[in-house]
Amino acid sequence: MSALLSPALRAPVDVPERTYALRVGDSMLEMDVAHTGQDEGRTLHTVTVRSEHGAATLHVRAPCPAYTHPSQEPDDNSLGARILRAPRVSMQAERELSLLHAWTLVYGLVTLWSDQEAWVVARTPSTPITALLACGLAVPHPEHVDACDWATKGDVLVLRAAFWQGAGPLGAAAWVPSQSGTVPYPYLPATYVHAARGLVPSVQHPRRPLKLDGMDAAPVYRRYVPDLQQTLTFRVARSDSDADVDLLHRWHATERVCTGWRQDLPREQHKAYLAAQEASSDSIALIGEWDGEPFGYVEIYYAKESNLRGFYDVGDYDRGFHALVGEERFRGPHRVRTWMGSVIHMLFLLDPRTMRVVSEPRASNTKMVD
């Protein structure tokens, strides 16, 4: 998720001294970064974090700088060797942090050092190590994993990959509000149905969950983007919403969008198209918004029920997406990196059984292909 910070702000080693803001749900997190010394040539950062959960301090020894030449790289590329170069973190507060508070601090670390794989987190009286291990946000340090007392002694590793996969007290609901405490696992028993469409070879695929009536009551996905200081959301597009139908109709009428989608159709056909999406169990039509302003359309689907199934060994829960940016003022590579990465993030969170996300742009769509 390196798109969280622009290249000018993203610092894999030292984070510039200033105040950073991060929105967590409906509340703001402020992080004051100061440099307080050196340890073995690595900058010591003091990060004072203020949120609705209270104040806390992160003492962070910066990671080692990246190797500048392959000859510098060691032969040992194990996790134990890699984390010797990773940032080291100590969490300090007046009392033991709740798991939710600790999770927000990890969110801050992942934002400030967005390219890091892992952080070595020290055991302190303030750090809820047991809770971090139990939810999967942390794993035992490789030096202690074989010891019988690893759960009660030694440092732990907090993994960036686990954070973005929803490890923590909020689960996927941190970014997918519709899943807040309501989605069981597995979502449905793996009962299969037969799909045969046109000339594409037929296939057996799992029965897909029904779309809930209240699905459009909350955004399907929501994430604050510090680089842009805006909140990105995706919500369900509705055929009974004149505004949604008008948006789709207007966007498809532009030459740029029509060149790729070729759906410059009468308004009623766009309304019927959205109605068909609502009736389908295979796909969901979404409107993307920046701070509540619509910018484009995204259609997510199961790859096994799409034309792609005839071209690769498709998995039962592989997902895909089509997308268009309808508003000119929301174009640009910096935004594309963010919303497209977020679509992929959303698809992995919607069902933890999804192992692969695909897309199928036209060969002539060089911007997408490249």
What digits encode the pLDDT tens for the residues 245-285? Answer: 999 999 999 999 998 899 999 999 999 999 999 988 889 99
- pLDDT band per the 50, 70, 90 thresholds, residue 187: low
Please state, in angstroms and rounded to a whole number, the distance separating the CA atoms of residues 91 and 138: 14
179 or 318, which is more confident: 318
Percent above pLDDT 90 for the chain: 59
Whole-number pLDDT of residue 9: 40
Tell me what pLDDT residue 357 has: 94
Q: What is the pLDDT of residue 216?
A: 64
* pLDDT of 136: 93
Residue 229's pLDDT is 92
Higher pLDDT, 362 or 278: 278
Cβ pair 162, 137 in contact under 8 A? yes
Of 125-139, 186-200, 298-312, minimum mean pLDDT range = 186-200
Q: Look at strands 19-24 and 27-39 and give their pairing.
A: antiparallel
Average pLDDT over residues 284-292: 96
Helix (H) or strand (E) holding 285: strand 283-290
Helix axes 267-279, 242-252, angle to 10 degrees: 120
pLDDT in tens, 212-240: 555 666 789 999 999 899 999 999 999 99
Kindly calculate the radius of gyration of the chain based on its CA atoms and give it in whole angstroms: 23
How far is Cα 251 from Cα 249, in angstroms, rounded to an integer?
A: 6
Give the per-residue pLDDT at 55: 92
What's the sign of the alpha-carbon dihedral 5, 10, 14, 17? negative
Return the pLDDT at 213: 53
Average pLDDT score, the chain: 87
pLDDT in the model for residue 16: 95
pLDDT given at position 205: 76
Q: Rounded distance, CA 314 to CA 24, Å?
A: 35
pLDDT tens digit string along 107-141?
999 999 998 999 999 999 999 999 999 999 999 98
**pLDDT above 70 for 163:** yes
> Which of 351, 291, 288, 358 shows the shortest CA–CA distance to 324?
288
Mean pLDDT calculated for residue range 299-320: 88
∠ CA(294), CA(240), CA(208), 5° rounding? 85
